[in-house]
A and B are shown apart, each in its own frame.
Chain A
Amino acid sequence: MPGTVRIALGVGVAVVLAAALAACGSSKTTTSGAATANSNPANANNGAGGKRGGILKVVTNEDAQHLDPGLAYFTIDYEYTYATQRPLFSYKPNDQTNPVADLAAGPPQISADNKTVTVHIRPGVHFSPPVNREVTTADVAYAIERGFNPHVANPYIGVYYGNVVGADKANGGPLAGIKTPDKYTIVFSLTKPTGGLLAAAFVLPVSAPVPKEYAQKFDAHTPSDYGNYQVATGPYKLQSDASGKVIGIGYQPGKHITLVRNPNWSAATDYRPAYLDGVDWSIGVPPEIAGRQALTGTHIVDGDTPTATIVKLAYQRYRSQIFFSPGSGNRYVALNTQVPPFNNVNLRKAVFAAMNRKQMGTVRGGLLVATPATHFIYPGLSGFEEAGGIAGPGYDFTTSPTGNMAVATAYMKKAGYPSGRYTGAKPLVVVGSTGAPADQDAQIVNQTLQNLGFQTNLKLVDQSVMYGTFCGTPKLKVNVCPNVAWGRDFADPQTVLAPTFEGSAITQTNNQNWPQLNDPAINAAMEKAKLLNGTAARAQAWGKIDDMVTATAAAVPWSWDNQANVYSKDTMCVNALYNTGPCDFSFSSLK
């Protein structure tokens, strides 16, 4: 299974690059150039045999969002979190589909009824100073319990740990459903048979141990400031003073993050090679500068999404220093299924068919960074092949990446518009994001709608406002959200489909089911699929659900993102595919 995925990906990348070259129209580059980028050593190995020592410099424009491992939930957060914290399981950088035991000593044991999950952890893992003592499963239990603490307010804890016995009333105290029979064993009891999903979710950083006796006082603070005083279990730690204080030392908000070796880390307990002596991370570097510093400097990686200019420059002149990380999320146009006119499935299909999805990707930077999507489970997730792989489900309205007006017209007719053009007078409310390339994509969508005869009222607002105010608030009745996107929490396809297309996910604020799809058949299928155990079974079931969602045309998927990452020539960057491709500090090394 994983093998298939990887082969499919390999093909995908080759296709993408060949097409990208054609799209770029560069006469100098040849297909052998594509081979160079594709055979990027960073992709081929896990960095084994790297040189030990040295400080890696990281430059980003963005600041960390959450320092606390109980809250980290963002690409930049993950970059330091997975180097400093050891959750029960995690991904090796070159395999974003199959987790490996990290703090855990072996695979999770899921009971036959799928309601009990047992994990044994490795002995000999120690917290960094000032705690120093060995990690026990009580620390894992506390880490998860504190996720329910309102002072911490972990956003995903309810989604994945919500079925743990006692979680419904949890507020930070011990959970009845988490038992630690001995120092190295932890047992989760569930109210529903969702052990498969729970086991998969152990890769999220909230399962990284937190020492209660040390963290309690910080968790009592409103909000908890444990993040500013955290201790580490990974090979690195945020630099701190003797008391453990990180803020102002290893983390200077908006300025700097400093990772140093965790003196208490033992290589024998970890699969990470940890070649580097540390990481010197500057925040606030303008994206153009950051990209150039990474491309032309020494031992520098750009920890952010590089700008289109930098991607182009890198692709043309520093081909070996750019990596397009496949499986970095999907992008789609959400059509509001709850209010006219897009409560009419045929109108939605017409829009889907008419949409030039490839052009939308071209605007983003071409096929290198945006593979035209045909469905929602994207490469690197289990279930991608089951959902149809690159080709997709093959509906008449999904097959042409450049749009097919004939099919669109046919669906318009089916929808009751014999001319093939919409005749309703009420303009559609279309809310997109400002800033290139999002605004241009919104324009393409807007134009497509107008081509079908729709009147439109296009509003472009800041992305946070687009999500937070307009597209996330059903009562505003936004008809079309052209700039929505989703990324997985981990390789399980449920993390991509359930929050975004399940009827029960519709909320009155902060809604993420943007099309407000509430299809009884799909809801029922999801309910069943959630309870499945075993990667293959889940991939099969969720692949089918993906097909069903696509069939509703509630949303028009147009990109499977390949996140670009750039770094210096003398840096052996091992791209963390599980985190959209930034260099994994625990595996990368200096040349």
Chain B
Amino acid sequence: MGRYIIRRLLWALVLLVLVIALTFAIFYLLPSADPAQLRAGRNATAQNIADIRHNLGLDKPVYVQFWDYLKAVVLHFDLGYSYQSDASVKSLILDRLPATVSLAAGAIVIWMLVGIPVGVISAVRRRSLLDRAAMTVALIGVSVPVFWLGLVLLYLFAADIGKFPLLPGANTYVPLTSDPVKWLTSLIMPWFVLAASSAAVYARLLRGSLIETMQEDYIRTARAKGLLERTVVMRHGLRSALTPLVTVMGLDIGVLLGGALLTETVFNVPGIGRLNYEAIVHSDYPIIQGTVLVAAIFIILANIAVDIVYAFLDPRVRYS
């Protein structure tokens, strides 16, 4: 197991270098606005632009830029400085991370709190009215655009612009450390919006998985033993039915920690997703590279975590 993890981590490093290279290539090969020109603004002379290009190090050959970047990342985990604000990218990402983590964590809790019971009830009461209602709601949850749902919730419930001003609206996020109550209330709507589609996906996945599991021979055995039906479903059925979800969920968590752009945007939660998006708009390459790298790290770590958790969940899986 230990050796397996080390091997995975080494492979992850290779992947990360590839990610850096790919981001680099995309940034340089695909047409995007010239960051120096964007910084210079109108009226700028060719000299201005050349100066700025030099200031940003963009006048060096691409391979030198790539090498410099790689060196800085590997040696000091130095992600460079934003073209836009000249702030250190590492500090910007660290600054944004708590919001993204808060958003992701809450959303995941809601996925589980909503998705799992709904999935279980739908599977157990298959074809009942409850199942049909839940699956219809789930279908809506999956289909509804995040941005639209966010706006609707804000127009309905936001304290400032809502018809029924119940919850803090957009732009009210505060860090957990500065005011836990405000942190919680300000994130309720974003959590629900972010969780809506995923909870629906998970409910449907779990329903399918559990229905399948409940056909298994060992479920029949559990019943034949005289176990309570609740025990059969929860301890024998759910335990197995959840395992395939772990894979999906692990990846989703990785992706989420890379930033939930739409939710972050509509509620103005200052997370990684928005940082990345704004950087793309402004051709702020160091931030793009930094956020992509961080997202990649999360996704890779999530992948490894999934494998490890899987081994714990399913004793048949062994890594050597």
A65 part of interface (Cβ distance < 8 Å):
yes
The listed residue (B38, B46, B87, B151) touching A288 by CB distance below 8 A is: B151
Assess whether B91 is interfacial by the CB under 8 Å rule.
yes
**Majority secondary structure of chain A interface residues (helix, strand, loop or mixed):** loop
Does A296 contact B160, Cβ atoms closer than 8 Å?
yes
| From A251, A499, A509, contact of B46 by CB (8 A) | A509
User: With A155-B45, A159-B43, A464-B33 known to touch, is A285 a contact of B170 (CB < 8 Å)?
Assistant: yes
Q: How far is the CB of A543 from chain B (nearest CB, A)?
A: 22
A150 contacts B by Cβ under 8 Å: yes
Q: For residue A252, which residues in chain B have a CB less than 8 angstroms away from its CB?
A: 95, 270
Asked if A507 contacts B46 (CB within 8 A), the reply is yes
Chain A interface extent, by class: 35 or more
Q: A289-B268, A464-B33, A512-B43 are known contacts. Are A59 and B85 too (CB-CB below 8 A)?
A: no
- Are A65 and B55 closer than 8 Å at their CB atoms? no
**Stretch with Cβ within 8 A of B (4 or more), from A111-119, A222-230, A263-271:** A222-230
Complex CA distance for A228 and B52, rounded to whole angstroms: 17
Asked if A591 CB lies within 8 Å of chain B CBs, one says: no
Verify if A248 is at the interface (C-beta below 8 Å from B): yes
Indicate whether A341 reaches chain B with its CB closer than 8 angstroms: no
Q: Which residues of A49-83 have CB atoms within 8 Å of chain B's CB atoms?
A: 59, 63-65, 67, 73-74
Contact at B45–A158, with CB atoms within 8 Å?
yes
Asked whether A248 lies within 8 Å of B95 as measured between CB atoms, the reply is yes
Residues of B within 8 A of A223 (CB): 52, 55-56, 86
**A465 interface hit (Cβ, 8 Å):** yes
Q: Does A65 lie within 8 Å of B37, measured CB to CB?
A: no
The CA-CA distance from A151 to B50 in the complex, in Å, is 11
Establish whether residues A465 and B274, one from each chain, have CB atoms under 8 Å apart when the complex forms.
Answer: no
Q: Does A468 interact with chain B (Cβ within 8 Å)?
A: yes
Residues from chain A with Cβ under 8 Å of B33 in the complex: 462, 464-465, 468-469
Residues of the A chain whose Cβ atoms lie less than 8 Å from the Cβ of B32: 465
User: Are B265 and A63 in touch, CB under 8 angstroms?
Assistant: no
Is A156 in the interface zone, CB < 8 Å from B? yes
Residues of chain B contacted by A225 (CB below 8 angstroms): 86
Please name the residue on chain B nearest to A284 by beta carbon: B268
Name the B residues within 8 Å of A530 (CB-CB): none
Q: Which residues on the B side are within 8 Å of A254 (C-beta)?
A: 92, 270, 274-275, 278
B318 CB within 8 Å of chain A: no
Would A156 and B161 be within 8 Å (CB), given that A67-B85, A254-B270, A289-B171 are in contact?
A: no
Q: Mark B73-87, 1 if CB is under 8 A from A, else 0.
A: 000000000101111
Q: Which of B41, B49, B151, B155 contacts A73 (CB 8 A)?
A: B41
Is B38 a contact of A468 with CB atoms below 8 Å?
yes
Residues of B within 8 A of A227 (CB): 86
- State in angstroms the CA–CA spacing of A288 and B2 once bound together: 51
Q: In A502-552, which residues have CB < 8 Å from any B CB?
A: 507-510, 512
A19 to B32, CA, bound (A): 40
Known contacts A155-B41, A284-B274; 5 additional CB pairs below 8 A are: A67-B85, A289-B161, A293-B170, A464-B33, A509-B37
